[in-house]
Amino acid sequence: MKTSIVLPDLGAGDQQVRLAQWLVETGDGVIEGDRVVEVLVGGVLFHVAAPTDGIVTRMIDNKDAILAPAATLGFVKTQS
């Protein structure tokens, strides 16, 4: 099963949310709650956590991409 890594509501309002950097790579194992990606909002860095245990299978790779609210950033494959 594939679970989406989704940009949470950061209360950014009208501010742009940008992809800063990934803290993991495709193929890495993660545990639910692990920090997997950093996003930048108005000069403040926020961490997005893995939604579940599994293997990171896909990530958007556009550094500095402007992200829409609730954007899918990548996927984690679970063993279920």
pTM, rounded to two decimals: 0.87
Question: In the chain, how long is the greatest CA-to-CA distance?
Answer: 38
Q: Which CATH architecture has domain 2-77?
A: Beta Barrel (2.40)
3-state secondary structure the chain: CEEEEECCCCCCCCCCEEEEEECCCCCCEECCCCEEEEEEECCEEEEEECCCCEEEEEECCCCCCEECCCCEEEEEECCC
Residue 1's pLDDT band, with cuts at 50, 70 and 90, is very high
| Structure confidence by residue, pLDDT tens digits, 32-55 | 999 999 999 988 999 999 999 999
- Say what the pLDDT of residue 80 is: 60
